[in-house]
Amino acid sequence: MKRAGKIRLGSAVAVGCGLAVQAAGAQETRTPDYRFMLLKSQKQAVQATLGNHCHPDAANSGKCVEVDYPLKTNAVLKLRPGTTVTLLFRADAGDVKWRAARIDGRRQERLTATGEAKLASRKTKRRWIITLPKRLSRSTDLLGFDVVYPNAYSSFEVGAKVQP
Protein backbone atom coordinates (compact mmCIF):
# COMPACT_ATOMS: atom_id res chain seq x y z
CA MET A 1 0.00 0.00 0.00
CA LYS A 2 2.85 2.39 0.74
CA ARG A 3 4.27 1.84 -2.74
CA ALA A 4 1.04 2.88 -4.47
CA GLY A 5 1.03 6.09 -2.44
CA LYS A 6 4.55 6.90 -3.56
CA ILE A 7 3.64 6.40 -7.21
CA ARG A 8 0.70 8.74 -6.92
CA LEU A 9 2.78 11.33 -5.15
CA GLY A 10 5.54 11.07 -7.77
CA SER A 11 3.15 11.49 -10.69
CA ALA A 12 1.44 14.40 -8.99
CA VAL A 13 4.79 16.13 -8.52
CA ALA A 14 5.72 15.47 -12.16
CA VAL A 15 2.41 16.86 -13.39
CA GLY A 16 2.79 19.85 -11.11
CA CYS A 17 6.32 20.53 -12.39
CA GLY A 18 5.14 20.22 -15.98
CA LEU A 19 2.47 22.82 -15.38
CA ALA A 20 4.96 25.14 -13.72
CA VAL A 21 7.33 24.87 -16.68
CA GLN A 22 4.53 25.53 -19.17
CA ALA A 23 3.28 28.50 -17.20
CA ALA A 24 6.77 30.03 -17.04
CA GLY A 25 7.27 29.45 -20.78
CA ALA A 26 3.91 31.01 -21.62
CA GLN A 27 4.92 34.28 -19.93
CA GLU A 28 7.87 34.78 -22.30
CA THR A 29 6.26 35.96 -25.50
CA ARG A 30 8.36 37.38 -28.29
CA THR A 31 7.22 40.51 -30.05
CA PRO A 32 6.61 39.78 -33.75
CA ASP A 33 8.93 41.49 -36.23
CA TYR A 34 6.66 43.78 -38.25
CA ARG A 35 9.62 45.57 -39.88
CA PHE A 36 10.71 42.78 -42.24
CA MET A 37 9.50 41.73 -45.69
CA LEU A 38 11.36 39.64 -48.26
CA LEU A 39 10.33 39.32 -51.92
CA LYS A 40 11.27 36.33 -54.07
CA SER A 41 10.86 36.06 -57.82
CA GLN A 42 12.73 34.09 -60.48
CA LYS A 43 15.78 33.10 -58.37
CA GLN A 44 15.99 36.59 -56.85
CA ALA A 45 15.41 37.59 -53.25
CA VAL A 46 15.39 41.21 -52.03
CA GLN A 47 14.41 42.84 -48.76
CA ALA A 48 11.86 45.62 -49.01
CA THR A 49 12.35 49.06 -47.43
CA LEU A 50 10.05 49.91 -44.51
CA GLY A 51 7.93 53.05 -44.91
CA ASN A 52 5.06 54.36 -42.77
CA HIS A 53 4.24 52.04 -39.91
CA CYS A 54 2.38 51.72 -36.61
CA HIS A 55 3.74 49.02 -34.32
CA PRO A 56 3.09 48.17 -30.66
CA ASP A 57 6.00 48.71 -28.28
CA ALA A 58 6.95 46.81 -25.12
CA ALA A 59 4.30 48.65 -23.07
CA ASN A 60 1.59 47.63 -25.61
CA SER A 61 1.07 51.21 -26.68
CA GLY A 62 1.37 52.15 -30.33
CA LYS A 63 4.22 53.98 -32.00
CA CYS A 64 3.61 55.41 -35.48
CA VAL A 65 6.24 56.72 -37.89
CA GLU A 66 5.63 58.62 -41.11
CA VAL A 67 8.23 58.98 -43.87
CA ASP A 68 8.41 60.80 -47.19
CA TYR A 69 7.48 58.92 -50.33
CA PRO A 70 8.72 57.57 -52.63
CA LEU A 71 11.16 55.73 -50.39
CA LYS A 72 14.84 55.50 -51.21
CA THR A 73 15.15 51.82 -52.02
CA ASN A 74 18.48 50.10 -52.55
CA ALA A 75 17.08 46.78 -53.70
CA VAL A 76 15.76 46.36 -57.25
CA LEU A 77 13.70 43.36 -58.29
CA LYS A 78 13.88 42.41 -61.97
CA LEU A 79 10.40 41.41 -63.08
CA ARG A 80 8.63 40.00 -66.10
CA PRO A 81 4.94 40.70 -66.74
CA GLY A 82 2.69 37.85 -65.61
CA THR A 83 5.17 36.36 -63.13
CA THR A 84 4.47 35.39 -59.53
CA VAL A 85 6.19 37.17 -56.64
CA THR A 86 6.32 35.55 -53.19
CA LEU A 87 6.16 37.80 -50.12
CA LEU A 88 7.66 36.53 -46.86
CA PHE A 89 7.01 38.09 -43.44
CA ARG A 90 8.21 37.38 -39.89
CA ALA A 91 4.74 37.97 -38.44
CA ASP A 92 1.29 36.72 -39.43
CA ALA A 93 -0.23 39.25 -41.83
CA GLY A 94 -3.97 39.75 -42.05
CA ASP A 95 -4.27 41.62 -45.35
CA VAL A 96 -1.77 42.65 -48.05
CA LYS A 97 -2.47 45.16 -50.81
CA TRP A 98 0.09 45.97 -53.50
CA ARG A 99 0.69 48.62 -56.13
CA ALA A 100 3.06 49.04 -59.05
CA ALA A 101 3.97 52.61 -59.92
CA ARG A 102 6.30 54.78 -61.92
CA ILE A 103 7.91 57.96 -60.58
CA ASP A 104 7.26 61.04 -62.70
CA GLY A 105 9.47 64.14 -63.06
CA ARG A 106 7.98 65.73 -59.92
CA ARG A 107 8.79 62.66 -57.78
CA GLN A 108 5.11 61.66 -57.64
CA GLU A 109 3.86 58.09 -57.92
CA ARG A 110 1.74 57.23 -60.96
CA LEU A 111 0.04 53.86 -60.55
CA THR A 112 0.53 51.28 -63.28
CA ALA A 113 -1.21 48.36 -61.50
CA THR A 114 -2.80 47.45 -58.15
CA GLY A 115 -4.13 44.35 -56.46
CA GLU A 116 -4.41 42.17 -53.37
CA ALA A 117 -2.02 39.42 -52.38
CA LYS A 118 -3.29 35.90 -51.76
CA LEU A 119 -2.18 33.45 -49.11
CA ALA A 120 0.29 30.92 -50.48
CA SER A 121 -1.11 28.21 -48.19
CA ARG A 122 -3.66 27.84 -45.43
CA LYS A 123 -1.01 26.71 -42.95
CA THR A 124 0.63 30.10 -42.41
CA LYS A 125 -0.12 33.78 -42.86
CA ARG A 126 3.56 34.63 -43.29
CA ARG A 127 3.78 33.65 -46.99
CA TRP A 128 1.73 35.53 -49.59
CA ILE A 129 1.84 35.65 -53.39
CA ILE A 130 1.00 38.21 -56.03
CA THR A 131 0.71 37.66 -59.76
CA LEU A 132 1.75 40.63 -61.86
CA PRO A 133 -0.50 41.62 -64.78
CA LYS A 134 0.51 40.35 -68.20
CA ARG A 135 0.37 43.94 -69.46
CA LEU A 136 2.50 45.48 -66.72
CA SER A 137 3.98 48.74 -67.98
CA ARG A 138 7.72 48.74 -68.64
CA SER A 139 7.87 52.20 -67.03
CA THR A 140 7.15 50.68 -63.59
CA ASP A 141 9.83 51.80 -61.10
CA LEU A 142 8.61 50.34 -57.82
CA LEU A 143 6.34 47.90 -56.04
CA GLY A 144 4.62 49.13 -52.89
CA PHE A 145 2.86 47.08 -50.22
CA ASP A 146 0.41 47.95 -47.45
CA VAL A 147 0.39 45.21 -44.84
CA VAL A 148 -2.18 45.01 -42.06
CA TYR A 149 -1.34 42.75 -39.13
CA PRO A 150 -3.77 41.83 -36.32
CA ASN A 151 -2.41 44.70 -34.18
CA ALA A 152 -0.04 46.66 -36.45
CA TYR A 153 0.41 48.27 -39.87
CA SER A 154 3.45 48.52 -42.17
CA SER A 155 4.08 49.80 -45.66
CA PHE A 156 7.02 48.65 -47.78
CA GLU A 157 8.56 49.53 -51.13
CA VAL A 158 11.09 47.88 -53.38
CA GLY A 159 12.56 49.10 -56.66
CA ALA A 160 11.39 47.34 -59.81
CA LYS A 161 12.77 46.91 -63.32
CA VAL A 162 10.32 45.37 -65.79
CA GLN A 163 11.98 43.31 -68.47
CA PRO A 164 10.32 42.32 -71.77
CATH 2.60.40.10 fits 33-162, yes or no: yes
In this prediction, residue 107 carries a pLDDT of 84
Mean pLDDT in order along the chain per 10 residues (164 residues): 46 41 48 89 92 82 82 86 94 94 87 93 91 93 93 92 88
Residue 53's nearest CA partner among 39, 66, 70 is 66
Q: Where are the domains of the chain?
A: 1-30, 33-162
pLDDT score, position 29: 60
- Distance separating alpha carbons of residues 152 and 104, to the nearest angstrom: 31
Closest of 70, 47, 42, 46 to residue 163, by C-alpha = 42
Read off the DSSP letter of residue 59.
Answer: T
pTM comes to: 0.76
User: Is there a contact between 58 and 51 (Cβ–Cβ < 8 Å)?
Assistant: no
State how far the Cα of 29 lies from the Cα of 18, in Å rounded to an integer: 18
Q: Which residues pair with 88 in a beta bridge?
A: 38, 127
